[in-house]
Structure 1
Amino acid sequence: MRSLVLIGHGSHLNGESAGAVYRYAELIRERGLFDEVVEGYWKEEPSLRQVLKTTASTDVTVIPMFISEGYFTETVIPREMGLGHQGPVPPEGVARVLGGKTVRYTLPYGVHSSMADVILERAREALPDLGDEGTPPTALVVLGHGTTRNENSNRVVYENAERLRHTGLFSEVEALFLDEDPKVGLWPERVRAPRVVVVPFFASEGWHTLETIPEDMGLTGAVTVFPQNPHGTQTVYYARPVGTHARIAEVILQLAEEARGTGGRGGDEDRLHAQAWAAFMTMARRGMRVGEVMITPQLGMFEVRHALDEGIPGGDLTTTVTPEGLRDHTRRDEGGHHRPVHTLRNLPRGWRAVLSETDLPRAMHALYPAIVEEGYAHQQHALRATPWATTARRQTGIYAKVQKATPEQVEHVAEDVCSGCLRTRLWASEQLPRTFFDGVPGAIPCAEACTYLVAEVREEVSGKRGSGSGHSH
């Protein structure tokens, strides 16, 4: 067996942030090269602290879905996943044995050498006659974010620019940046060619690619003509960001194979994970409630719906037959707000999912990530809680500030944030004698303060948190 874990940043505020990772997971899943493909997030669920519990195999490859090396790939992800590594990741990756699993952590996909091919494909999409005989000289601008916080983050942009310089397709190749020199606003002075293709070296379509870059460059659309530039009339062709190209799935698979090396036989089934899901499926076949949902067996299939929709005819509910459809129906509450914490008591109503026995575990993973594994472990007295003080000490960067929070401040925030959650705070010494495995639907353990609570405590310590802001996200 082999498990692949794709790690994204995610967001407490923006539901679109996780979209690219979901799409690549689905593309790779369709290829069937791994027994499972699981997503994990820094700011959503399953969290970096939980995600290894959700993998079924003892052979796990973890790929950070980031465009360059930096703070998250070198500090946050290794720390939160317990990899015992800090700093630059070597080309061969980092391998650790954690809880009986062999975990291989790779470089981010954006630093793979084949990304130059993705940049070139984006350039060709924007300018199909690129390289044709008789066409005017064309310059390429590889546009990175840049940051003064990590010297590694710009290196990949320069390396790709150099690779593409050697193709001979472009009269000039420039590496420019949003937040460090040389800045993108200087492009008219630096680029001489009459045609300029700009490829954003960004992981996703977002604020920077849709607003900041066009504004800084003076672009009006996919093609913009500048008749009075220092080097004469220039036409800029603006490409889509590299991170949304379908070929990224190939890059991810190459990374995974390189991390594994040759001759790897794969792992075994994770015993505790298998026991947890066997116990859960036994209950599901009889019909059960967990959290806010009701699972009903139906002729070899399972119907999943909000428990408050019990008795409503199926035809009156929106029906989905895939785990992805269920995920998309339940990622927002009824007010349309993003739900970064899935166990908050704001699951929307009005839907039903009809799922096979194979799809039900994936659907549950989408609805309530990690609760089956953690609920079963707690029932078996094998779930270790992490006290708040330990979680706070582990924080770095802008979140190190939570170490200054008083117990009263933490409790004040928790009363607001956690009161709307189904979980019981084992990390705050609350007791949970029974779980949903014992037939108590809302009895779900919380072994560690989530990143949402950590972020809210930081706001509290900074004096920026208004009353009730825990529900505004």
Structure 2
Amino acid sequence: MRSLVLIGHGSHLNSESASAVFRYAELLRERGLYDEVIEGYWKEEPALRQVLRTTASTDVTVIPMFISEGYFTETVIPRELGLGHQGPVPPEGVARVLGGRTVRYTLPFGVHPGMADVILARAREVLPDAAPEDTALIVLGHGTTRNENSHKVIYSNADRLRESGLFAEVHALFLDEDPRVGTWPDLVRSRRVVVVPFFASEGWHTLETIPEDMGLRGEVTEFPDNPHGPQTVFYARPVGTHPAVANVVLSLAEEARSAGGRDGDVDRTHDAAWQAMMALARRGGRIGEVLLTPHSGVYELRHALDEGMGGAELQTVVTPEGLRDVTRRDAAGEHRPVRTYRTLPRGWRAVLSEAELRRGVHFLYPAVVEESYAHSCHSLRHTPWPTTARRQTGIYTRVQRATHDQVERVARTVCSPCLRTRLWAGEKLPRTFLDGVPGAFPCAEACTYFVAEVRETLISKRPTTASHDG
């Protein structure tokens, strides 16, 4: 048995931030090469501190879904996963045995040599007849003076494509370092120019910054008076959203596994947790705000406040992914980065098979089944706030200075809407939802949303409003 974990950044504010990782996870599930494909996030759930607990196998490969090496892939993700590694990740990855699991952590997908083919595919989408006689390629990266790895991957891909001889010229340009994207008219001589953004997802930079800096007016823009004569620019979509990235991810995963090891077994603790969950499902009951009812081999989930409503009155979803999508936003359409907030929208019903139910419950309440079972077995470790604060780095280092009163003031606002009980703050939870108390979920450690709000409170010198991403 094998588990594949895709790690994204996520967002406390933007529900679209995780959409690319969702899409790749779905593509990889369809291929059936791994027994399960799970997503984990820095700023959403399941969080990095939780995600390994949600894997069913003792053989786990973790892929950071980032475009280049840097702070998150070398510091944050290894630290939060408990890998005991900091700094550059070697080409063969990092392997550790954690809690009975063999965990292999790889380089980010963006540095894989196969990304040159993805760049080429994006270029051919906007200009199928690109020719070495009259076509230039610009590989466009973000760049930063703080980490040379940010531009290294851009230059390496530009070099590969230059050596291919498929373009008259290939240039590496950047938003935030030299050579800047705005200098392209002076650098590029070819009559036709294809621009491929080397970004992980569609966003502000690809939709606003780059077109503004280059003077683009759409997918195709004519420049009749450039220094080297008339030029036409063809603007491609970012590489990170291309379906071929799934092939790159699989290559990374298989290369990591070929470095050693064997297929894993079913993780017994994880299996026992879900056996307890299925016992609840088969008799029917509540989990948080959700009513779970068995019906002749399928299971219906709906908001508990919608009990008794007819099927025609509710939106019916029939896949775990559909359930995830309708519950990622609250009734007002706002993003729900903390899935255990009492903000679950109403007006839907999910009908899932027994095989689909586990993924559906996982999408509703990530890691809750595993953590509740561990708490019932007295094996869930609590991490006190001072320990969590000391672990923070970068812009979050300042939370180490928060006083007890400041932390509790944030908790009154951030934690009060949540179903979880703050074990990390000394609160008691005698029983969980698995024992028949629907809203009883354990919270072993302050979440990243809480950490971000503590930081925001220290910056603003005012009580938190629970509205910032940090």
Q: Is the 8 A contact 2:201 2:238 kept in 1?
A: yes
CA distance in 2, matches of 1:383, 1:151: 40
Out of 236, 239, 243, which is 2:236 matched to?
239
* Deviation larger for 449-458 or 258-267: 258-267
Out of 205, 210, 233, which is 2:207 matched to?
210
Structure 1 counterpart SS, 2:149: coil
Q: Counterparts of 1:76-95 in structure 2 under 5 Å?
A: 76-95=76-95
Q: RMSD of the TM alignment (CA)?
A: 1.1
Q: Is the 8 A contact 2:330 2:343 kept in 1?
A: yes
CA distance in 1, matches of 2:197, 2:259: 34
Q: What is the aligned partner in structure 2 of residue 16 from structure 1?
A: 16
CA distance in 2, matches of 1:287, 1:365: 17
- Does residue 308 of the first structure (1) align with residue 284 of the second (2)? no
Q: Is the 8 A contact 2:456 2:468 kept in 1?
A: no
Out of 248, 270, 273, which is 1:251 matched to?
248
Residues 100-144 of structure 1: CA deviation (Å, up to 9, x unaligned) = 00000000000000100100111111101113xxx8511110000
Structure 1 counterpart SS, 2:146: coil
Change (3 A) 1:137 1:464: farther
Q: Counterparts of 1:270-309 in structure 2 under 5 Å?
A: 270-309=267-306
Q: CA deviation at 1:228?
A: 0.9
Aligned residues: 469
Q: Counterparts of 1:55-134 in structure 2 under 5 Å?
A: 55-131=55-131
CA distance in 2, matches of 1:208, 1:405: 34
Q: What is the aligned partner in structure 2 of residue 470 from structure 1?
A: 466
Q: What is the aligned partner in structure 2 of residue 41 from structure 1?
A: 41
Q: CA deviation at 1:265?
A: 3.2
Q: Counterparts of 1:332-343 in structure 2 under 5 Å?
A: 332-343=329-340
Identity of aligned residues (%): 75
Q: Is the 8 A contact 1:142 1:161 kept in 2?
A: yes
Q: Structure 1: state its 5+ residue gaps.
A: none
Q: What is the aligned partner in structure 2 of residue 403 from structure 1?
A: 400
Out of 432, 453, 457, which is 2:454 matched to?
457
TM (normalized to structure 2)?
0.98
CA distance in 1, matches of 2:51, 2:321: 18
Q: CA deviation at 1:411?
A: 0.3
Change (3 A) 1:82 1:263: closer
Out of 339, 354, 360, which is 1:363 matched to?
360
Q: CA deviation at 1:194?
A: 1.0
Out of 189, 192, 198, which is 2:189 matched to?
192
Residues 372-415 of structure 1: CA deviation (Å, up to 9, x unaligned) = 00000000000010000000000000000100100100000000
CA distance in 2, matches of 1:207, 1:472: 18
Q: CA deviation at 1:465?
A: 5.2
Change (3 A) 1:58 1:43: same
Q: Is the 8 A contact 1:136 1:195 kept in 2?
A: no
Q: Is the 8 A contact 2:12 2:468 kept in 1?
A: no
Q: Which runs of 4+ in 1 moved over 2 A?
A: 262-265, 464-467
Amino acid at match of 1:81: L
Change (3 A) 1:136 1:225: farther
Q: CA deviation at 1:263?
A: 7.2
Q: Counterparts of 1:297-446 in structure 2 under 5 Å?
A: 297-446=294-443
Structure 1 counterpart SS, 2:351: strand
Q: Structure 2: state its 5+ residue gaps.
A: none
Amino acid at match of 1:73: T
